[in-house]
Structure 1
Amino acid sequence: MTAVKAGDVEGLVRRGPDPRIAVTLVYGPDTGLVADRAARLVRGMVADPDDPFALIKIDGDTLASDPGRLVDEAGTVGLFGGSRTIWVRSGSRNYAPAVDAVLKALTEGARIVVEAGDLARSAPLRTLCEGSPRALALPCYPDDERTLADLIERTLQEDGLRIDRDARDLLAGSLGSDRRASLSEIGKLALYARGQDRIGVDDVEAIVSDVGASVLNALIDAAFAGRAGEAEREYRRFRHEGMDPSAMLGAGLRHALTLLSLRLDNPRGSASQLVANWRGLHFRRKALAETQLARWSAPGLQQAVAWLQDAVLACRRSEPELAHAQAQGVFLRIAVEAARRRG
């Protein structure tokens, strides 16, 4: 049996591929974690990313219709020689026979990563990989406190950032059990902290914490909907109330990244469809959210994210008065751009 305990999976992924293993099955209820670990395994296996034959992606439903294709792909030699990596994405049909065939074929020089969903103990694909000496079955269950802390530090280190322990604990406490959502929040924090060496509690509170977010919705929605006059009034009100410009920019950046994520997940979707997929959106904001998504394309939102990032960095280096001017300026710039995009 080559099933792996959930607590040992992360260490195995970090160590990289075992040359004795032909098939690595990654499965579990946390689809974000499954996708993250499968992608990391694939990156560690692809020796030459410039070789178009070095990595092949196949849909599971394709293999269900043609079980012999996996054996054929595994037996194909790369353009520049060396090992070949095959990444199988799960579909709705049973493709265990294709995996069974490749395990029996004793092909050399090919490594296969199978990204699956939540498989029951009796699922054919899981029992096959757990029972073969040439396969590994890696379960992916929701992150706990320890794995979240490790995820935060490792992900931020990839961006050249370190995080204080108190800030890390605060961030971990605000994250849920879904790996994809956690990576999204950590990514937002890394963008916000660009230009710093260390991340502190104030940074986490500015970009991740929900404190004050609902209060700032009026400003943010007005800006992204193209209501420049309203955005200017709201900004003056928050400034008068003593709101920190970095907190306002952090909330704006978080909002822009949410809009961008929705756009990228469904590029052809209508504004109403995208709003329907926006989890946690208050019903009173839906009409304005539809207006925003109807006006902003993915490239436009990427530009808005860049403006907000630059403003965050500039605010850290400025005196309070200048920081407010910079923050107010970028919200007005977004509002003017949104108004220009009126359809």
Structure 2
Amino acid sequence: MTAIRPGDVEGLLRRGPDPRVAVILVYGPDTGLVAERARSLAEGAVADPSDPFALVKIDGDVLAGDPGRLLDEAGTVGLFGGQRAIWVRPGSRPIAPAVEALLKAELPAARVVVEAGDLAKSAPLRVLCERSPRALALPCYPDDARTLADLIDARLQAEGLRIARDARETLAASLGGDRRASLGEIEKLALYARGQREISLEDVEAVASDVSGSVLNALIDAAFAGQAGEAERSYRRFRVEGMDASVMLGAALRHALALLAARLDGQGQSPGQIVASWRGLHFRRQRIVEVQLARWSPEALRRAVARLQEGVLACRRAEAEFAHALASDVLVRIALEAGRRA
């Protein structure tokens, strides 16, 4: 078994994966963290990541239509020699047969990094990579407080900056929903503080915005409560403010998963009883979340989760304008479905 616990992933990345490993699967609900780690693993395996002969990028849906291509690419020797890497980007079609064929073959010279979404324990690709001694499965879940503090310190130190303790705590409290969005906020703060020696609490309050899931509560709650008009208005506002489409859908996905978990844990209980035992739920949101629980069954929430997962992946592969159209459509459809359930 080569499944890696979430807390052990950073240590493994610092040490570097075993060169005998043929396939590294990077998956999880934090799409920003998945993308960052997949990019780091793929680009870190080659001398020049900009060389298309050294770093080959394959779309998952293209690979699903031609499973033998992965084995061919992995066994190809570079034109000028040197290490090669294959980076398989997320798609909507299954690619487990292509990965299985590669794992059964002779050890390739290339590092194969497979980027995926939030895979269930029973997903064929995850099962395959967790059971094979020649593969690694790296889960990516939202950063906890300790990981965020380390991330903040590392990124700011790279810019020659320190950060005061109270400023770090305030900044960390506003991050964590998505690694890519968190990094954007840290980089924005570093740019603001350029020329200073230390970042203060005042700097954080002046620059950092709340990019965790809470900033999107108005949009997400409107969608899952069936308020289509409000969801559409909220989406337009966040879009104007520059919020990434996949970040918005990622926050909605996490909320759908939270609703599903609450529904399953509270079987036989009323929505009011479930809300009363929901730890961490702000009192101002209790009423609207109770409405959501009343309207969404576990089966319907599973369908919403699948729709949101597909939407997150589609947004990440699309141009910004089209990504926003996709994300808005997904959220409005969820709102319309919730409205019909009233």
Q: Which residue pairs with 1:56 in the alignment?
A: 56
Number of equivalenced pairs: 233
**1:2 CA displacement:** 0.4
Q: From 321, 324, 329, give the equivalent of 1:269.
A: 321
How far apart, CA to CA, are the structure 2 residues paired with 1:36 and 1:205?
26
Q: Is the Cα–Cα contact under 8 Å of residues 148 and 176 in structure 2 kept in the other structure?
A: no
How far apart, CA to CA, are the structure 2 residues paired with 1:21 and 1:257?
44
Q: Is the Cα–Cα contact under 8 Å of residues 85 and 112 in structure 2 kept in the other structure?
A: yes
Q: Does the alignment pair 1:140 with 2:140?
A: yes
**1:275 CA displacement:** 11
Q: Which residue pairs with 2:70 in the alignment?
A: 70
Q: Is the Cα–Cα contact under 8 Å of residues 51 and 80 in structure 1 kept in the other structure?
A: no
The verdict on how the C-alpha distance between 1:65 and 1:151 changes in structure 2, with shifts beyond 3 A counting, is same
**AA aligned opposite 2:152:** I
How far apart, CA to CA, are the structure 2 residues paired with 1:268 and 1:141?
24
Q: Which residue pairs with 1:21 in the alignment?
A: 21
**1:268 CA displacement:** 7.0
How far apart, CA to CA, are the structure 2 residues paired with 1:180 and 1:89?
16
Structure showing greater Rg: 1
The verdict on how the C-alpha distance between 1:196 and 1:37 changes in structure 2, with shifts beyond 3 A counting, is same
The verdict on how the C-alpha distance between 1:107 and 1:185 changes in structure 2, with shifts beyond 3 A counting, is same
Q: Does the alignment pair 1:6 with 2:6?
A: yes
CA-to-aligned-CA distance 1:4-53 (integer Å, 9 cap, x gap): 01100011122223211111000011111111111121232122335331
**AA aligned opposite 1:61:** D
The verdict on how the C-alpha distance between 1:269 and 1:98 changes in structure 2, with shifts beyond 3 A counting, is same
User: RMSD between aligned alpha carbons?
Assistant: 2.9
TM, length-normalised to structure 1 = 0.62
TM, length-normalised to structure 2 = 0.62
The verdict on how the C-alpha distance between 1:209 and 1:35 changes in structure 2, with shifts beyond 3 A counting, is closer
Listed as ranges, the gaps of 5+ residues in structure 2 are 211-237, 246-314, 332-342
**AA aligned opposite 2:321:** G
The verdict on how the C-alpha distance between 1:79 and 1:51 changes in structure 2, with shifts beyond 3 A counting, is farther
How far apart, CA to CA, are the structure 2 residues paired with 1:68 and 1:209?
46
Quick one: percent identity of the two aligned structures?
Answer: 69
Q: Which stretch of the first structure deviates more once superposed, 124-133 or 147-156?
A: 147-156
CA-to-aligned-CA distance 1:97-137 (integer Å, 9 cap, x gap): 00011111123311011110001111000010001111000
**1:273 CA displacement:** 5.1
Q: Which residue pairs with 2:171 in the alignment?
A: 171
Q: Which residue pairs with 1:114 in the alignment?
A: 114
How far apart, CA to CA, are the structure 1 residues paired with 2:169 and 2:123?
37
CA-to-aligned-CA distance 1:166-197 (integer Å, 9 cap, x gap): 21111001224221221121121112112223
SS in 2 for 1:45: coil
Q: Which residue pairs with 2:94 in the alignment?
A: 94
Q: Which residue pairs with 1:105 in the alignment?
A: 105
CA-to-aligned-CA distance 1:283-316 (integer Å, 9 cap, x gap): xxxxxxxxxxxxxxxxxxxxxxxxxxxxxxxxxx
